[in-house]
């Protein structure tokens, strides 16, 4: 089926839903939205593994664009679980009648720019071809799973479940011997819940992570009322805070504080739970290795207190990266799980998983583990995975995959030279990952849709970044990141979790407010760094 439209929106997660609402309902444009899943939710549609919940407080991890919406929705817990977040996104879809804009079960598989017509032709796995003047991708940053590094998965006799695509009907694990591979944020949330349900759990851990307490609890009605009373002010404070959450300001330096003061601050935030441990304690933790060592050692001490077997505790203590330089997972009873008789921790760094067999997992030294069920929590092809699988071909027949072969390039994380009128919401090079996602997404959707509005008003046919602006943005990303400890760690922030993927700075490492200020300057300066071509025809 062929259709011509003003804008194609990809995805029905936080990004796609808000983009569709803005373009269609506020700007009056004709929009076709495509979503691979059968319904809305994005990440929160797919990641329905036991224990899945957000780890930024729900009153902050939600849309801010409509005061009525934020007043009428009430979260039941401090950090909502996946079903409640999915219910929220369903509520948003219903409230703004967004479903009628979607083709569900429709994955974008090609996107080709036509220099003669100045339009994209978007192809899908259902055989649709949609021509559009603009495309907004909300395909997500951690949405495409990483391919397994070991062979034999297809030979395993039992079921293999992946955290990113957990079955809708929760599998019965009672009495089963379950193996979990992966101890990132997903594994760390799922492992305690799986241990409670199965007969025996084997956790295959390659790199131990620093994980700190989440401390979820029912939402406090007084706190909720206080936030709702001043929601716009709370959101403004969020947008001016490093992570997009208004945590208390940190003291400047862990090294200047006395050991007692350090301990007091770490204890306070450890007990409070959430990202305050990294952001509300000391301002130099992510910049100075000696400062970072103080929180790293504090965390290791707390792990040792909670794990009964000292040898197991040591296996769980990270020693190869700085605290917070891999995305900090938040945990609930994670460390205590290893005190159970029916849970075994198997280190696989020096003795890696070589093969999955019909009956379980075999390590390089030949040791085998017999399993009935295998769970993969092995992570994502982050930042670029969704876009490089869309078959994007820009000006002159050049593919995005070729342009990004040595690592992604973009301007503001929003657009890439040679791919006009294609907007990548929280794309590589944007403030994301270190910025509360719903707010990061709102900012970016607003930037993209404002750009589209500007083009229409001014009769511009195409818009794309200038090469020089893109190169300068790359320098800015590198300079910011290299002032911190992040590049010293192999993580998905750096593309380093995928063998062969170029290791580059994938995101804006800085405060949300600084990124927002950079974008505002660009806009105020007449979209500095973007090139426009004038239109013969307008939308």
Residue 442 engages ligand NAP in binding (rule: CB under 6 A): no
* Shortest Å distance, C-beta 87 to ligand NAP: 17
Q: Which of 13, 250, 347, 379 binds ligand NAP (CB under 6 A)?
A: 379
| Residue 197 CB coordination number (10 Å) | 16
Residue 331 is a binding residue for ligand NAP (CB under 6 A) = no
Residue with smaller CB distance to ligand NAP, 35 or 331? 331
Q: Given the complex with ligand NAP, which of 5 and 186 has the nearer CB atom?
A: 186
Interface with ligand NAP in residues 119-148 (CB under 6 A): 142
148, 429 Cβ separation under 8 angstroms: no
Q: Does position 327 bind ligand NAP by CB under 6 A?
A: yes
Site stretch for ligand NAP (CB under 6 A), options 1-9, 199-207, 389-397, 530-538 = 199-207
Closest distance to ligand NAP from the beta carbon of 187 (Å): 5
For ligand NAP, the binding residues in 30-59 under the rule CB under 6 A are 53-55
Q: Which stretch binds ligand NAP (CB under 6 A): 120-128, 177-185, 355-363, 465-473?
A: 177-185
Which helix or strand (DSSP H or E) is residue 266 part of?
helix 259-272
CA gap 379, 181 in Å, rounded: 10
Residue 415's closest CA among 143, 145, 134, 144? 134
Residues 6 or more apart whose CB falls under 8 angstroms from that of 225 comprise none
d(CA 153, CA 144): 18
Stretch that binds ligand NAP, among 165-173, 375-383, 417-425, 531-539 (CB under 6 A): 375-383
Closer to ligand NAP by Cβ: residue 247 or 532: 247
Give the shortest CB-529-to-ligand NAP separation in angstroms. Answer: 29
Helices 221-229 and 231-239: angle between axes, nearest 10 degrees: 80
CB of 379 to ligand NAP, least distance (A): 3
How many angstroms separate the Cα of 372 from the Cα of each of 148, 161, 177, 352, 358? 19, 11, 5, 20, 10
Residue placing its CB nearer to ligand NAP in the complex, 13 or 379: 379
Instruction: Give, as ranges, the residues between 353 and 372 that touch ligand NAP (CB under 6 A).
Output: 353
DSSP-assigned states of every residue in 363-431: ETTS-EEE-SEEEE---B-TTTHHHHTS-EE-GGG-BHHHHTTTS---BTTTB-TT-TTEEETT-TTSS
Is residue 181 close enough to count as binding ligand NAP by CB under 6 A? yes
Q: How many residues are recorded in the chain?
A: 539
Cβ 506 to ligand NAP, closest distance in Å?
12
Binding test (CB under 6 A) with ligand NAP, winner from 207, 238, 292, 325: 207
Virtual CA dihedral for 382, 279, 247, 303, nearest 10 degrees? 90
Residue number of the CB atom closest to ligand NAP: 184
Q: Could you tell me which stretch among 68-76, 151-159, 377-385, 395-403 binds ligand NAP (CB under 6 A)? A: 377-385
Q: Is the dihedral of CA 387, 390, 391, 392 positive or negative?
A: negative
Q: How many residues bind ligand NAP (CB under 6 A)?
A: 26
Answer for which of 185, 356, 363, 390 binds ligand NAP (CB under 6 A) is 185
What separation in angstroms does the CA of 37 have from each of 89, 360, 502? 14, 31, 29
Residues that bind ligand NAP (CB under 6 A): 53-55, 142, 149-150, 181-187, 189, 204, 206-207, 327, 348, 353, 377-380, 492, 497
């Amino acid at each position: 089926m062929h259709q011509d439209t003003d804008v194609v929106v990809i995805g029905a997660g936080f990004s796609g839903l808000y983009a569709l609402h803005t373009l269609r309902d506020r700007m009056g444009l004709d929009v076709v939205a495509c979503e691979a899943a059968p319904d809305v939710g994005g990440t929160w549609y797919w990641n329905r593994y036991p224990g899945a919940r957000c780890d930024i407080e729900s009153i902050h991890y939600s849309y801010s664009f409509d005061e009525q919406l934020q007043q009428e929705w009430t979260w039941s817990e401090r950090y909502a679980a996946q079903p409640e977040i999915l219910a929220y996104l369903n509520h948003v879809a219903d409230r703004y009648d967004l479903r009628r804009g979607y083709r569900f079960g429709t994955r974008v598989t090609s996107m080709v720019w036509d220099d003669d017509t100045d339009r994209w032709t978007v192809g899908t796995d259902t055989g649709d071809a949609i021509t559009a003047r603009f495309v907004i991708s909300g395909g997500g940053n951690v949405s495409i799973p990483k391919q397994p590094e070991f062979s034999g998965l297809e030979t395993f006799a039992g079921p293999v479940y992946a955290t990113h695509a957990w079955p809708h009907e929760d599998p019965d694990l009672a009495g089963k011997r379950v193996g979990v591979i992966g101890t990132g944020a997903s594994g760390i949330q799922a492992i305690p819940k799986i241990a409670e349900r199965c007969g025996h759990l084997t956790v295959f851990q390659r790199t131990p992570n620093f994980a700190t307490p989440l401390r979820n609890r029912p939402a406090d009605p007084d706190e909720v009322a206080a936030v709702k009373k001043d929601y716009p002010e709370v959101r403004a404070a969020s947008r001016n805070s490093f992570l997009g959450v208004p945590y208390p300001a940190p003291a400047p330096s862990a090294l200047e504080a006395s050991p007692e003061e350090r301990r007091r601050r770490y204890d306070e935030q450890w007990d409070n739970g959430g990202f305050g441990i990294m952001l509300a304690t000391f301002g130099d933790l992510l910049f100075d290795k000696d400062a970072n060592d103080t929180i790293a050692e504090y965390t290791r001490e707390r792990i040792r207190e909670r794990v009964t077997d000292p040898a197991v505790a040591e296996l769980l203590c990270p020693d190869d990266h700085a605290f917070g330089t891999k995305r900090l997972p938040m945990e609930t009873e994670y460390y205590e799980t290893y005190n159970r008789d029916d849970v075994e921790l198997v280190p696989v760094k020096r003795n890696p998983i070589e093969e999955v067999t019909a009956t379980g997992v075999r390590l390089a030294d030949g040791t085998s583990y017999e399993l009935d069920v295998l769970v993969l929590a092995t992570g994502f092809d982050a930042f670029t995975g969704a876009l490089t699988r869309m078959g994007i071909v820009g000006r002159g027949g050049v593919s995005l995959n070729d342009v990004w072969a040595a690592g992604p390039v973009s301007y503001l994380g929003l657009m890439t030279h040679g791919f006009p009128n294609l907007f990548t919401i929280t794309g590589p090079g944007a403030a994301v990952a270190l910025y509360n996602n719903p707010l990061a997404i709102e900012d970016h959707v607003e930037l993209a849709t404002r750009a589209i509005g500007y083009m229409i008003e001014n009769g511009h046919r195409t818009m794309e970044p200038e090469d020089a602006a893109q190169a300068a943005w790359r320098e800015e990303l590198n300079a910011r990141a290299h002032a911190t400890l992040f590049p010293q760690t192999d993580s998905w922030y750096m593309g380093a979790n995928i063998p062969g993927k170029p290791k580059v700075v994938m995101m804006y490492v800085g405060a949300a407010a600084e990124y927002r200020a950079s974008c505002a300057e660009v806009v105020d300066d007449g979209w500095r760094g973007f090139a426009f071509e004038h239109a013969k025809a307008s939308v």
